[in-house]
Chains A and B, each alone.
Chain A
Amino acid sequence: MSYKPNENDLMAYLYGELESPEREAFENYLFEHPEVRLELERLQKMRTMLSEVKDKEVIAPPIFVDEGKARVMWDAPYLKTIVSIAASLLLVILMGRLAGMKIQYEASALKISFGETQTEANGGVQAQVAGASLSAEEVQSMINASLLENNVAMQSSWKETQEKLDASINKSLAQNSSKIDKLVRDASIASQDQIREFVAGIQTENLQLVKSYFKMSSDEQKQYIESLLVDFSKYLQQQRNDDLQLVQTRLNSLEKNTDVFKQETEQILSSIITTVGNKNSIGMTN
């Protein structure tokens, strides 16, 4: 056999895309060459394994296609950044202007200020500072002197206030204690009488309360029992009537029954009598 399939034919056969004449040739070849058959089987197994990978379910998101013309300018690579930098610079300048910011550079000093500049005042201070030239010792002694003065003054004022405070505290203590004593005494005297009155008041109130309560409850109980009795007697009456009616109906039905029974027995008796009479008469004739 001259036919020898290559791997491409094998693939085509595996996926069923080999056309009819070649297909037959290939199948014949397979029949004669078990090693190719084995290879095909292995590939087939591989395919079955591959078919285990299932599709993932997915929901198509909405896709919006714009015309793509309006945005061409914005898509230019640097334009966006340049424009945004310009915009932020503008914003900064505007803010500075609104806040009244001034930036000056004079005499090797950069000054950034908001609002009016106060160059004159600064100049005055500087002049004063320049005019008063003092040695370190003098300054030290001046500081010491002022510190001493301060200390003395503060101590004296402290003493004064201390004394004043003591005096006022003593005074108010004396006043308050006498007042409190008086008040307590008054209260103790007054309270005994008041308590007695109060207790008496409470007692009488309680007495009245209990009295009225008893009266009320007894009234209520009376009424309740009366109504109960009435209801009960009514109920009894009703019951008796019902019972009487029941007995009446029973009696009636009994009466009826006995009547019917009587009639029936009469009928039966008469029929028996007649049949016996007939038999006798027949027997007589025989």
Chain B
Amino acid sequence: MVDTLLNIAMMHSDTLVTRAKEGDQNAQGKLIQLWYKRIYNFGYKFFLDHDLAMEVSQKTFISMCKNLAGLQDNARFKSWLYKIAVNYCREEVRKKKGDRSLSFDVVWNRDAEESPKWESTGQRYDNPESQLHRRELADILQQALGELNVEQREVVIMKEYEGLKFREIAEVLNISENTVKSRMYYGLDGLRKILDRKNINKDTIGYEL
């Protein structure tokens, strides 16, 4: 994880957590502001769907506000929060299995109607071609992530994008650290296989590693 001001603030949110636990709504609001992006992005990478990610993050933070008083160790706030998010994500997955309706975004591709995707990326200093390549690579990777099974996907996202330690992930998922590591290994391996099957390597993507 990159050390941005936001991340530093997140790492030192202990006092905020204690205040929020006492029922300070302002502190709760600040906690939400700090962590919303992380939980949203976790949800987004998990589902590759904005609406589901928004739903999961909102549920997570509502639950956080309600149950914060029950959190015993402030240092475990992060893994506690991710635990809630993971549970809601799994719940959505279960719901989706029984749901035969199509998401509206699948029928009507909103992104394709608006503007080229690479327009929204932050790296404007790159040349457009490599930007497009990067964007494509990112999309392909996201899809590959979606093809992993839920257990591996959770671990890969939490480790690679959310920067949790193996110990923390083990806490979140209530499993042993070794299981986490092995899921991570098979997750990465699975990703590589998926990409190989899609014939994606550094030559085809035109991206210099």
Which residues of A come within 8 Å of B, CB atoms?
Answer: 7-8, 10-12, 15, 17, 42-43, 45-58, 60-61, 63, 65, 68
Contact = CB atoms under 8 A, between A and B. Distances in A.
7 contacts: A15-B166, A42-B192, A49-B209, A53-B138, A53-B145, A63-B58, A65-B28
Contacts of A46: 188, 191-192
Nearest to A55: B41
Given A12-B166, A47-B160, A53 B209 contact: no
Given A8-B181, A11-B184, A58-B36, A68 B66 contact: yes
Interface residues of B, number: 43
A7 B161 contact: no
Contact of A65 (B62, B122, B160, B207): B62
B26 interface: no
A92 to B, nearest CB: 34
B47 interface: no
Nearest to A43: B188
A76 to B, nearest CB: 20
Given A11-B184, A46-B192, A47-B160, A54 B166 contact: no
B58 A50 contact: no
Contact of A53 (B33, B66, B142, B178): B142
The prevalent SS among residues of B at the interface is: helix
B199 interface: no
Given A11-B185, A42-B192, A53-B142, A17 B32 contact: no
Nearest to A54: B138
B7 to A, nearest CB: 11
* Highest count of chain B CB atoms <10 Å: which of A47, A57, A65: A65
Contacts of B54: 58, 61
Given A11-B184, A12-B166, A60-B33, A50 B41 contact: no
Contacts of A45: 202, 209
Given A7-B181, A50-B191, 14 more contacts: A7-B185, A8-B178, A11-B181, A45-B209, A46-B191, A46-B192, A48-B209, A53-B138, A54-B138, A56-B41, A56-B50, A60-B33, A65-B62, A65-B66
